[in-house]
Structure 1
């Protein structure tokens, strides 16, 4: 089963509290939170993975 991860945006001006990322089997092993951007505000350095 492909992995699913949850992220939060720490940008104080962003209205998004969290989002889920659903991956395919083809996602590179070295993909990290630094490769992603907030889908609401577009920031790249304010994302934090939510550890379950």
Structure 2
């Protein structure tokens, strides 16, 4: 589930912007989670090179 989409849906926000894919703001949030110690390393579809 895309949390940005869920948040936009709850707030009656811009759902298309929440579906922005690889260019979405989730990347900044994800980097902040990693910086705070949240485990990472799983492949991200469409983002990770093989």
Q: What range describes the TM-score normalised by the shorter chain of this pair? A: under 0.3
Q: Which has the higher contact order (CA 8 A, sep 6+)?
A: 1
Bigger strand fraction: 1
- What TM-score do you get using the length of structure 1 for normalisation? 0.27
Structure (1 or 2) with the larger CA radius of gyration: 2
The structure in which a higher percent of residues are helix is 2
